[in-house]
Chain A
C-alpha cells in the first residue's frame, strides 16, 4: 500500500463546475497535509495546507481533512481552464519530510 494515494485521472470538468480531488494516506500519525499544483513542464507550487479536521477555505479553493477516515480533499469552485494541471497531495508525519502522492491530472474544458 502506498503511503499517499491519489487517482491519476484525468478528471475532466466543465468550466464553472466544482472539481473535487481526493487523497488518502496510510499513516495515522500524519500531522500536516498539503496540496501542490504542477503545470505541465513546471515545478510544483503550494496552494493549500491544512493541519486540523474540517474545512479550510482560500478563495476558490477549499481543503478538507478527515483524520479518522485518513483522507484529505481539495475542492476547486468555479473551475477555470487555467486550473488544468496536476494536483499533488503531500503528507507529513511530524518530521521534516513530505511524502507525495503521484498526483491527479485535472482538465477543465470550456
Chain B
C-alpha cells in the first residue's frame, strides 16, 4: 500500500492567494482527518470525515478554511484568502475506524505551507 498521499509537499504563496491542499487516504479507510501543526500550538485537528461526510469541523479556524471529500479516495483543504499566520505543516491522516479505537491513524507526509 502506498500509504496516505499528500500534495504538494511544499507550497509557498503570497498573502491573499488561494491555496489548495490535496490528500488521498489509504484505500479502504473510512475516516479522514486534517491536522495543522505549528511550534506554538502543536498538532491541531481541523476537520474529519467519515464515509466522505464531514463529521466535526469545529477545529477549522475561520471561514477562510474549507474542506471537501467528493469521494472515498480524495479530499481537499482550501484556504482562501491565505494569510501569513496560516503558515504551518498540514497533515492528512486516515484510519479504518475512529480515533478512539484500537486502530491506527496513518499520517501522510504533510504539506509545508509558507504564506509570505
Which residues in A have some Cβ–Cβ distance to B below 8 Å? Answer: 31-32, 42-46, 49, 51, 88, 92-103
Contacts and interface: CB of A to CB of B under 8 A. Distances in A.
Contacts, number: 55
Q: What is the interface residue range for chain B against chain A?
A: 20 to 34
Main SS of chain A's interface residues? Answer: loop
Contacts of A31: 100
Interface string B91-112: 1000000111110110111100
Interface of B: 31, 41-45, 48, 50, 55-56, 91, 98-102, 104-105, 107-110
Given A100-B42, A102-B41, A102-B42, A94 B110 contact: no
B105 to A, nearest CB: 7
Contacts of B100: 31-32, 92-98
B107 A45 contact: yes
Given A95-B98, A96-B48, A98-B45, A43 B108 contact: yes
A98 to B, nearest CB: 4
B80 to A, nearest CB: 25
Contacts of A95: 98-100
26 contacts: A31-B100, A42-B109, A43-B107, A43-B108, A45-B107, A46-B105, A49-B102, A51-B102, A88-B43, A95-B98, A96-B31, A96-B48, A96-B50, A96-B55, A96-B56, A96-B99, A96-B100, A97-B45, A97-B48, A97-B56, A97-B99, A98-B99, A98-B105, A99-B45, A100-B45, A102-B43
Contacts of A94: 100
A92 B105 CA distance: 12
